[in-house]
Amino acid sequence: MSVYSSLGAERPALSVPEWQAAAWCIDHTLLRPEVSRAQVVQLCEEAAQYGFACVMINPTWVSFCASRLRDTPVKTGVVIGFPLGASVTTAKRLEAEECLRLGADELDMVMNIGALKSGDHALVETDMHALAETCHQAGAILKVILECALLTNQEKETACRLSLAAGADFVKTSTGFSTGGATLADVALMRRVVGDRCRVKAAGGVRNAADFAAMLKAGADRIGTSSSVSIMRELGATGTLGATPSRSAY
């Protein structure tokens, strides 16, 4: 199956190479705590070269990435309350505000999983709503990470409904730091529950072009992966540094 043919409503009308259409759906991700500045430099260069939607990094790198990506179409994405989602709302909100102030365009927050398990749906929703409000006031978008590997199917559905009620722009399967990553079944479940009212991001364990295409076919709009460059090469990108697409190509 062609990756390109899997792209849905967001597919551009103009004809572009398959790898480039795929790149627009990818959050180029580097979240290990031990990554160094040199690795973050490389992440930004790759993102600009291939035209990925976003880099996805920890808060400590936000201002650095936003600065390096200033003259590119690549967004700066950052994780909040990551990867446990078990902080207090005031702390998540301040972390979000600080990241937005430092140049973030997209925030991927982790839901309060323990609160959901405890039946405290009000806390789960207000936690998400605080961040949705913070993001939208700044013109940014919010993705809510459900961490599906830790949830029953009923909890996944509840989490999707609470995310919708809270104003999330995306629901996202996984942090990549738990017992499992994105599954096709979870993406399909999330797509079914949220319909066209918000978007779906699959993350965790997407390692090659076949995984990538299958996730899109199951209903994902965006893919988070650390294997972005090898997926680009599988799809025929040349990988020559310096071939940065200009903003006008978007």
Task: Return residues touching its own copies (CB under 8 A).
Answer: 31, 33-38, 58-62, 82-88, 90-91, 94-95, 98-99, 102, 110, 112-115, 117-118, 120, 147, 150, 177-178
Both tokens of 21, joined, read 């259409």
**Active-site residue, from 27, 105, 108, 169:** 108
Both tokens of 71, joined, read 């003259």
Q: How far is the CB of 210 from its own copies (least distance, A)?
A: 28
Measured CA to CA, the distance from residue 206 to residue 130 in angstroms comes to 30
**Active-site residue, from 75, 143, 156, 201:** 201
- Within 10 angstroms of residue 10's Cβ, the number of other Cβ atoms is 11
Classify 204 in phi/psi space as left (phi over 0), alpha (psi -120 to 50) or beta: left
Q: Which is nearer to its own copies, 23 or 47 (CB)?
A: 47
Q: How far is the CB of 94 from its own copies (least distance, A)?
A: 4
Burial (Cβ within 10 Å: 0-12, 13-18, ≥19) of residue 189:
buried
Q: Which is nearer to its own copies, 115 or 202 (CB)?
A: 115
The reply to whether 108 belongs to the active site is: yes
Measured CA to CA, the distance from residue 121 to residue 172 in angstroms comes to 18
Tell me, what amino acid is at 51?
Answer: G
**Active-site residue, from 172, 186, 211, 221:** 172
Q: Which is nearer to its own copies, 18 or 147 (CB)?
A: 147
Q: How far is the CB of 204 from its own copies (least distance, A)?
A: 15
Active site residues: 108, 172, 201
